[in-house]
Amino acid sequence: MEERGFFYRDTWAEVDLDCIHKNVASVKQLLPNGVEIIAVVKANAYGHGDVQVASEALAAGASYLAVAFMDEAMALRKKGIAAPILVLGASRAEDVQYACDHQITLTVFQMNWLLEAQKHLKTDSRLSVHIKLDTGMGRLGIRTKEELAEFEDFISRDERFHLEGVFTHFATADEPDQTYFHQQFELFQELVSALKVRPKYVHCSNSAATLRFKSNAYNTVRLGIAMYGLTPSLEMEPEIPFPLNEAFSLRSKLVHVKKLHKGDKVSYGATYEASGDEWIGTVPVGYADGWIRKLGSQEVLVNGIRVPIVGRICMDQFMVRLPQELPVGTKVTLIGKDHHQFISINEIAKKLETINYEIPCIITSRVPRLYKKNGKIVEIKNYLLQ
């Protein structure tokens, strides 16, 4: 596949679908037989591309998808995804009929919501729901057995609701201290066993819990960050049972190269000053692409060598100090491998004092995504030109 005609700026993100495939397959292999995988593809698959990741995850053994909001589920349906999709977050009760029409499964956790939803469901509709239990995350969910019993009864009395699942979410599954995790898990067990009828899907594990506590998986896990080849936390890195393959790279090309002399300045505020003769390259990536100003002290890879960013990052461009004169068009790697060097998403996360989850998510839709399989480009998504 030829890149020409798909995008017109020399900046792109590469998503290696083979990595997604391998990561899902490794998790599948790790889990006890029969445990299903819900591939979490919210937030445009953590910035990687929703339909591309969803399709690959399904091909690799996932059987269900999850997103945060109904819009994300509808987007997947529009792109031809037929697999079941669970909306993990809150949806509007007024919108239930749309969820039904698109066979989207909703998360439920409020009595008033059910009462309101009843008003909006046609008589012959059937809405699949998963009950969310709050076992200590303090975000969404039912917290007591009494509430749960009332809730279950209500659902069972209305044919239009189909109780398909029950789940909870852990707050500390990636932390070295396991006390709170076990506390949450115990409460989950207690609440699940209080149900009169156990639904088809019982799930609690995110990536961290899946990788660390595979026997606690019940019959389904929700796999997010590990599918993208990233560790849920730095602390649990030594506990990852198989190599994770990082799928996301960010690349660009030098669009201008010039020689500066001692005292010449670079970028807004003229904060960088050349200390002698220096080769300065311009890279067409800026904070509007998610390469935020705080990355001003980051390095990038050029011909397998780390080179420093100099001067302030602009909205659309930044400058680097090159070891020598290099031709315009030379590839620049901001995230990913180049020759034997590697800039990991963790490195960028550390620089930004945040978690790896945030990094691909903040690379904006101005950056086209290139999809690779077997080293070949199989699809190019330019959000600007759709």
Ligand X SMILES: *Cc1c(COP(=O)(O)O)cnc(C)c1O
Do 125 and 103 touch, CB atoms closer than 8 A?
no
Please report whether residue 356 would count as binding ligand X according to CB under 6 A: no
The CA–CA distances, whole Å, from 134 to 109, 146, 199, 242 equal: 9, 13, 17, 31
Whether 373 is catalytic is no
Mark residues 262-281: x for contact with ligand X by CB under 6 A, - for none: --------------------
Q: Which residue is nearest to ligand X (CB)?
A: 224
Interface with ligand X: number of residues (CB under 6 A):
12
Find the shortest distance in angstroms from Cβ 53 to ligand X. 12
Residue span binding ligand X (CB under 6 A) among the ranges 193-201, 222-230, 259-267, 273-281: 222-230
The tokens describing 288, both together, are 């509007």
Do 247 and 345 touch, CB atoms closer than 8 A?
no
Please report whether residue 225 would count as binding ligand X according to CB under 6 A: yes
CB nearer to ligand X: give 65 or 313.
Answer: 65
Whether 268 is catalytic is yes
CB nearer to ligand X: give 135 or 333.
Answer: 135
Residue span binding ligand X (CB under 6 A) among the ranges 24-32, 202-210, 251-259, 317-325: 202-210
Q: Nearest-CA neighbor of 100 among 67, 140, 73?
A: 73
Please report whether residue 221 would count as binding ligand X according to CB under 6 A: no
Find the shortest distance in angstroms from Cβ 320 to ligand X. 32
Rounded to 5 degrees, φ, ψ at 268 are -50, 140
Q: Binding ligand X by CB under 6 A: which of 26, 206, 298, 356?
A: 206
State the Cα–Cα distance between residues 108 and 304, nearest whole angstrom: 50
The tokens describing 242, both together, are 């198989």
Output DSSP code: residue 274: -
SS3 285: coil
State the Cα–Cα distance between residues 137 and 184, nearest whole angstrom: 8
Find the shortest distance in angstroms from Cβ 131 to ligand X. 13
Please report whether residue 93 would count as binding ligand X according to CB under 6 A: no
Q: Nearest-CA neighbor of 371 among 224, 248, 229, 243?
A: 248
Residue span binding ligand X (CB under 6 A) among the ranges 50-58, 115-123, 221-229, 300-308: 221-229
Find the shortest distance in angstroms from Cβ 363 to ligand X. 17
Rounded to 5 degrees, φ, ψ at 311 are 75, 175
Find the shortest distance in angstroms from Cβ 297 to ligand X. 28
Please report whether residue 207 would count as binding ligand X according to CB under 6 A: yes
State the Cα–Cα distance between residues 251 and 236, nearest whole angstrom: 29
Output DSSP code: residue 4: T
Place of tokens 């020399």: 10
* Residue 341 bridge partners (DSSP): 338
Rounded to 5 degrees, φ, ψ at 257 are -135, 130
Q: Which residues contact 14 (CB under 8 A, 6 or more apart)?
A: 248, 249, 250, 251, 336, 369, 370, 371, 372
139 is in an annotated binding site: yes
Please report whether residue 169 would count as binding ligand X according to CB under 6 A: yes
Q: Binding ligand X by CB under 6 A: which of 15, 31, 60, 88?
A: 88
The tokens describing 24, both together, are 């899902």
CB nearer to ligand X: give 40 or 57.
Answer: 40
Among the listed residues 258, 268, 294, 331, the single catalytic one is 268
Q: Binding ligand X by CB under 6 A: which of 49, 232, 284, 286?
A: 232
Please report whether residue 35 would count as binding ligand X according to CB under 6 A: no
Find the shortest distance in angstroms from Cβ 181 to ligand X. 13
Please report whether residue 40 would count as binding ligand X according to CB under 6 A: yes
Per the annotation, binding residues for substrate are 139, 315
Write out the catalytic residue numbers.
42, 268
Per the annotation, binding residues are 139, 315
Residues at the contact surface with ligand X, assessed by CB under 6 A: 40, 42, 88, 169, 206-208, 222-225, 232
